[in-house]
Amino acid sequence: MKTTGKVTGIVSNLVTVEVDGPVAQNELCFIDLDGTKLMAEVIKVNGANASVQVYESTRGLKVGCNVEFEGKMLEVTLGPGLLSSNYDGLQDNLATMEDVFLKRGEYTPALDADKKWDFSPIAKVADKVVAADWLGEVKEGWLPHKIMVPFSYEGEYTVKSIASEGSYTINDTIAVLTDSKGEEHKVTMCQKWPVKVAIKGYKEKPRPFRIMETGVRAIDTFNPIAEGGTGFIPGPFGCGKTVIQHAIAKQAEADVIIMAACGERANEVVEIFKEFPELIDSRTGRKLIERTTIICNTSNMPVAAREASVYTAMTIGEYYRAMGLKVLLLADSTSRWAQALREMSNRMEELPGADAFPVDLSSIISNFYSRAGIVVLNNGQTGSVTFLGTVSPAGGNLKEPVTESTKKCARCFYALSQTRADSKRYPAIDPIDSYSKYLEYPEMEEFFNEKMEQGWVSKVLAARNITLRGKEAYDQINILGDDGVPMEYHLRYWKSELVDFILLQQDAFDNIDCQTPLKRQEYMLNLVLDICNKDYHFERFEKCVSFFKNLINIMRQMNFSEFQSPEFEKYKEQLHNTVENAL
């Protein structure tokens, strides 16, 4: 028997319900408003009164409306067909809704139940299996999508039968498993899982040990993010957070991209809807959309579902990780999710923490970030979820609760600087404030020595040092004047400008410059360092300025040219001559 109840109070989307039976924290319920069922989640229970947050507008709701509890938490459906789908925060398929406007109470199935998938078995009859072990696979686009023993299965099972090669729908039985008591369980190609619970079913979670390539020089070269690592991008509005995220989504060397547009602008998501089905992934030659799932709860969609959207995205990410795939999860922006928490906490009249955010904000955020990571599966293969979130700090001030809480748990910090954005130095990732803890990992250093070249990390640090010293010199020049400082200061400053213009700045809208493969990054870093390591003597600082301006101009043309093309080599030649002449 389901627990039922009646509405007794309403403040915006916080509704109190008097219940007639047991209810669980985070349990789902439906409120009946003249036949329209509004989904809601229990967030507090006090005696027979349950406070629920409604995932829809509560306009027209009355005291006395009937409520039915579902006996389960918010779940997502996992199975083939998730990729290239467009969901809202509750995993309703946005593409199959008919109306131009979102209708409240309209819930659409996440997966197509009629579509047939070509299945081939992996497990054999009599195999011993546990949760998350692979039973078979289907081709989802070009990706091998593993059909696994449901994550909720506890203990060891024996494969009694497994479907032969052929096409099946997601609800067809593809295997029968027997548990230790001899009971039989039918397994289909889809399963459900509560979003707020992390999917385990792996052997171990080692420290990240290799890079997740993004094609963005300011990230890969200067502050690399590890596969299975975590990072965040805080920045005031207008600094290009979304441009960076989109660039990474297009270029990153991942098998699966999950984008959670959480409480942000709808037009940004529209850009993905429009571009991803057209853009080609240069690594696989397939359409970008084929490896992408979009979870979209834009700022005007119901606030409570915003929180759900990041969890939905993470759960889908963990599902693909269990298949041994490299997943990149992007969430824009986690601040909006924190604000959704704040709105509810406020309506429940909880005692507020800093800036009226709930006091447990920090633990909620770190718990979420901890779900990312590279894992070794039961069969020895690896899978990973790399998580990169944006943060929108109020007033651009990084001393605010969401940024501070995130800084405690994310390992890469990409600070976007207003000054850089104002002077159109994009990406506006601040070279001095930003950091990647992964550069300090010995296993990462080892990896770079092999993948790039011996001593790579110290080269990166040398380039960082040039920008730092350049900034100090610039401050001195500003105080003492061009003629008041030794020539050395001008040299230092202009070397840092060279690093800035050629390595850090990157034109996200130029077809070639937008994506720089690691090999090219290595080449350019060496080229810039070589130039910076030479001794120059100028009589007047004007000469120094025009020399470096000239270098920057030539090297920018190199960045705009196909790598090692005749055009590229021509500019390189020109560069070489210019440098030689100055020595």
Partner 1 sequence: MPSNVFQRIYTKLEAITKATVTLRAEGVSNDELALVAGRLAQVVKIKKDLVTLQVFAGTEGIPTNAEVEFYGEPPALNVGEQLSGRFLNAYGEPIDGGPKVEGERRYIGGPSVNPFKRRQPSELIPTGIAGIDLNNTLVSGQKIPFFADPDQPYNQVMADVALRADVDKIILGGMGLSNDDYLYFKQKFEDAGALDKIICFVNTTEQPPVERLLIPDMALTAAEYFAVDKNEKVLVLLTDMTLYADALSIVSNRMDQIPSKDSMPGSLYSDLAKIYEKAVQLPSGGSITIIAVTTLNDGDITHAIPDNTGYITEGQLYLRKDTDTGKIIVDPFRSLSILKQLVINKKTREDHSQVMNTGVRLFADAANAKTKLENGFDLSDYDLRCLDYAKEYSNRLLSIDVNIKIDEMLDTGWELFRKYFKPEELGIKQSLVDKYWNR
Among residues 382 and 505, whose Cβ is nearest to partner 1? 505
**CA-to-CA distance for 121 and 527, rounded, in angstroms?**
51
Give yes or no for residue 359 binding partner 1 (CB under 8 A).
Answer: no
The size of the interface with partner 1 (CB under 8 A), counted in residues, is 75
Minimum CB separation of residue 389 from partner 1 in Å reads 15
Among residues 58 and 221, whose Cβ is nearest to partner 1? 58
State the DSSP H helix or E strand holding residue 65, giving kind and residue range, or none if neither.
none
Minimum CB separation of residue 553 from partner 1 in Å reads 5
Minimum CB separation of residue 292 from partner 1 in Å reads 14
Here the tokens at position 187 are 């397994």
Give yes or no for residue 300 binding partner 1 (CB under 8 A).
Answer: yes
DSSP per-residue string spanning 389-455: EEE--GGG-S-SHHHHHHHHH-SEE--B-HHHHHTT-SS-B-TTT-EEGGGG-HHHHHHHHHHT-TT
Contact 304, 345 (CB under 8 A): no
Give yes or no for residue 20 binding partner 1 (CB under 8 A).
Answer: no
Q: Shortest CA distance to 110 belongs to which of 130, 89, 93, 135?
A: 93
Give yes or no for residue 206 binding partner 1 (CB under 8 A).
Answer: no
Among residues 206 and 277, whose Cβ is nearest to partner 1? 277
Of the candidates 527, 545, 563, 574, which one interacts with partner 1 according to CB under 8 A? 545
Give yes or no for residue 102 binding partner 1 (CB under 8 A).
Answer: yes
**CA-to-CA distance for 402 and 393, rounded, in angstroms?**
7
Of the candidates 26, 77, 169, 553, which one interacts with partner 1 according to CB under 8 A? 553
Give yes or no for residue 142 binding partner 1 (CB under 8 A).
Answer: no
Of the candidates 84, 104, 255, 495, which one interacts with partner 1 according to CB under 8 A? 104
Here the tokens at position 386 are 């790399």
Minimum CB separation of residue 339 from partner 1 in Å reads 6
Give yes or no for residue 395 binding partner 1 (CB under 8 A).
Answer: yes
Among residues 147 and 428, whose Cβ is nearest to partner 1? 428
Give yes or no for residue 9 binding partner 1 (CB under 8 A).
Answer: yes
- Pick the stretch among 130-138, 140-148, 338-346, 454-462 that binds partner 1 (CB under 8 A): 338-346
Among residues 145 and 246, whose Cβ is nearest to partner 1? 246
Secondary structure of residue 92 in the 3-state scheme: coil
Give yes or no for residue 363 binding partner 1 (CB under 8 A).
Answer: no
Subset of residues 475 to 534 that bind partner 1, contact rule: CB under 8 A: 478, 481-484, 509
Instruction: Label residue 72 left, alpha or beta by phi (over 0 means left) and psi (-120 to 50 means alpha).
Output: beta
- Pick the stretch among 74-82, 113-121, 220-228, 541-549 that binds partner 1 (CB under 8 A): 541-549
Among residues 271 and 453, whose Cβ is nearest to partner 1? 271
Give yes or no for residue 472 binding partner 1 (CB under 8 A).
Answer: no
Minimum CB separation of residue 361 from partner 1 in Å reads 13
Binding mask 107-136 for partner 1 (x = CB under 8 A): ------------------------------
Subset of residues 215 to 254 that bind partner 1, contact rule: CB under 8 A: 236-238
**CA-to-CA distance for 123 and 147, rounded, in angstroms?**
10
**CA-to-CA distance for 346 and 127, rounded, in angstroms?**
53
Among residues 300 and 370, whose Cβ is nearest to partner 1? 300
Give yes or no for residue 342 binding partner 1 (CB under 8 A).
Answer: yes
Minimum CB separation of residue 63 from partner 1 in Å reads 6
**CA-to-CA distance for 393 and 425, rounded, in angstroms?**
20
DSSP H helical ranges for 481-540: 487-499, 518-533
Subset of residues 81 to 100 that bind partner 1, contact rule: CB under 8 A: 86, 94-95, 97, 99-100
Minimum CB separation of residue 426 from partner 1 in Å reads 10
Q: How do beta strands 256-262 and 292-297 pair?
A: parallel
What does the buried/exposed string (b/e) look like for 368-395 if buried means 16 or more CB atoms within 10 Å of the residue's CB? bbebbbbbebbeeebbbbbbbbbbbbee
Here the tokens at position 223 are 């502050």
Secondary structure of residue 351 in the 3-state scheme: coil
Give yes or no for residue 420 binding partner 1 (CB under 8 A).
Answer: no
- Would you call 508 exposed, middle or buried from its count of C-beta atoms within 10 A (0-12, 13-18, 19+)? middle
**CA-to-CA distance for 338 and 301, rounded, in angstroms?**
15
Neighbours of 268 (CB within 10 A): 18
Give yes or no for residue 551 binding partner 1 (CB under 8 A).
Answer: no
Give yes or no for residue 299 binding partner 1 (CB under 8 A).
Answer: yes
